[in-house]
């Protein structure tokens, strides 16, 4: 006989991203009261469980209640507590929301205080992000972009198969899903034989990525070993690392992206914990040559996350599917990237954000950027509904990312990561 699927007393359809098996954390406040303090919540079906209200009701141990940890406007303090505390809170929430547990289910007053429809909530950035690092960890993506810019014979730089390549991004411009982003201006060189020019980005792209928030972190000078990296990863979100390709092509030598990337990065609001992702662990691609010992990660360190990129144009009545890919294609794992980031002794702090880099798969429909879909703008992509063509993003376009792990009769999902392109600043 098959094991019974755990269920909540709150109805959750099979296609929902937020069953009781997920329970992602986020920061919210009611739309009807902009003066209300933001606080910590957990998604369950189409509702939000207000953890501040649950704490006030005395349903968490005193260590959480006295500190007011769920009354805060970021997850940083909770992230800092570490995995034992995260697991304890998750176990309490799971029990409270279970269909056969009366404590919340049968307490009408508490339910009215503690359960808020997601439609009535404004979601905020989940953490105060001190530092943000973006990696370049998809072999397919790196090969495609490298081929376009340097030719097939120099697609991967000599170091790529030996270390996770990354650069330090700009934390101040990381925004939550739903925040419009403005087309940047900058310096480009459209013609190789002529001087550079200044003006609006003409080659605006999205990048489908995933990212993870750091929990306790490490002291300055003390690396995080690869086998301990998961203890420092609180959870994951979907990310759109917007890219001004023409600015980047001109400026990236020799130090990498700068203004091409620092103007906007969008993240989904719900942070899915590693506990929720555990049953979806898979092995990543075979790594050849074998990494150096400090990067060797023998266990299944990737996750089977189905990812989708949609484009909604101003003329279209519905989003158009551009690509479907999977996080399991990533060459370098989250554990390896975290370990490499700290091998120098760099200290991570609670709320720091690390991103995977663009996630592309091996097939034409699994490419994580327009640059790859249109092969550097050499061909157009057609929107079936309207017949519109796109080489790169236009003003008014909305990019929608979503993703989920498929369980047996349920999904552990990430919700949506949405951003609309506004015209360049006057």
141 catalytically annotated: yes
* Angle, vertex CA 23, rays to CA 170 and CA 83, nearest 5: 70
Q: What are phi and psi of 44, to 5 degrees?
A: -140, 110
Residue 93, both tokens: 């929430």
The burial of 137, by beta-carbon neighbours within 10 Å (0-12 exposed, 13-18 middle, 19 or more buried), is given as buried
Residue 71 near residue 37, CB atoms below 8 Å = yes
Tracing tokens 């620092």 back to the chain, one arrives at: 262
The C-alpha atoms of residue 188 and residue 227 are separated, in whole angstroms, by 43
Strands 243-244 and 389-390, how do they pair?
unpaired
Active-site position among 141, 232, 320, 341:
141
Residue 33, both tokens: 């009261």
Mark residue 322 as left, alpha or beta (left: phi above 0; alpha: psi -120 to 50; beta: remaining): alpha
**What are the residue numbers of the active site?**
141
């Amino acid at each position: 006989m098959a094991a019974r699927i755990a269920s909540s007393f709150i109805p959750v359809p099979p296609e929902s991203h937020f069953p009781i098996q997920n329970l992602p954390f986020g920061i919210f406040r009611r739309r009807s009261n902009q003066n209300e303090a933001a606080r910590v919540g957990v998604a369950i079906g189409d509702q939000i469980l207000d953890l501040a209200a649950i704490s006030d009701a005395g349903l968490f141990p005193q260590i959480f209640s006295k500190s007011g940890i769920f009354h805060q406007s970021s997850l940083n303090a909770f992230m800092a507590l570490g995995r034992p505390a995260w697991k304890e809170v998750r176990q309490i929430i799971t029990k409270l929301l279970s269909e056969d547990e009366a404590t919340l289910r049968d307490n009408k007053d508490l339910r009215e205080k503690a359960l808020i429809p997601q439609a009535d909530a404004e979601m905020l950035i989940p953490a105060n992000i001190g530092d943000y690092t973006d990696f370049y960890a998809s072999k397919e993506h790196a090969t495609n972009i490298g081929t376009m810019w340097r030719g097939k014979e120099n697609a991967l730089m000599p170091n790529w198969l030996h270390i996770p390549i990354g650069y330090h991004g700009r934390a101040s411009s990381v925004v939550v899903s739903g925040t419009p982003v403005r087309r940047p201006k900058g310096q480009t060189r459209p013609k190789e034989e002529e001087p550079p020019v200044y003006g609006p980005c003409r080659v605006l792209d999205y990048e489908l990525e995933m990212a993870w928030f750091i929990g306790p972190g490490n002291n300055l000078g003390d690396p995080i070993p690869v086998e301990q990296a998961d203890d420092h990863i609180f959870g994951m979100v979907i990310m759109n690392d917007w890219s001004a390709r023409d600015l980047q092509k001109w400026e990236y030598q020799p130090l990498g992206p700068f203004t091409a990337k620092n103007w906007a990065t969008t993240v989904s609001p719900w942070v899915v914990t590693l506990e929720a992702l555990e049953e979806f662990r898979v092995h990543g691609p075979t790594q050849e040559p074998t990494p150096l010992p400090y990067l060797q990660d023998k266990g299944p360190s990737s996750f089977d996350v189905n990812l989708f990129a949609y484009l909604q144009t101003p003329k279209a009545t519905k989003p158009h599917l551009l690509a479907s890919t999977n996080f399991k294609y990533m060459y370098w794992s989250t554990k390896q990237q975290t370990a490499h980031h700290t091998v120098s002794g760099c200290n991570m702090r609670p709320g720091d954000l690390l991103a995977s880099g663009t996630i592309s798969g091996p097939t034409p429909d699994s490419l994580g950027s327009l640059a790859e879909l249109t092969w550097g703008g050499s061909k157009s992509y057609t929107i079936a509904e309207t017949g519109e063509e796109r080489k790169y993003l236009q003003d008014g376009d909305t990019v929608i990312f979503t993703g989920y792990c498929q369980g047996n009769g349920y999904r552990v999902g990430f919700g949506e990561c949405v951003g609309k392109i506004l015209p360049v600043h006057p």
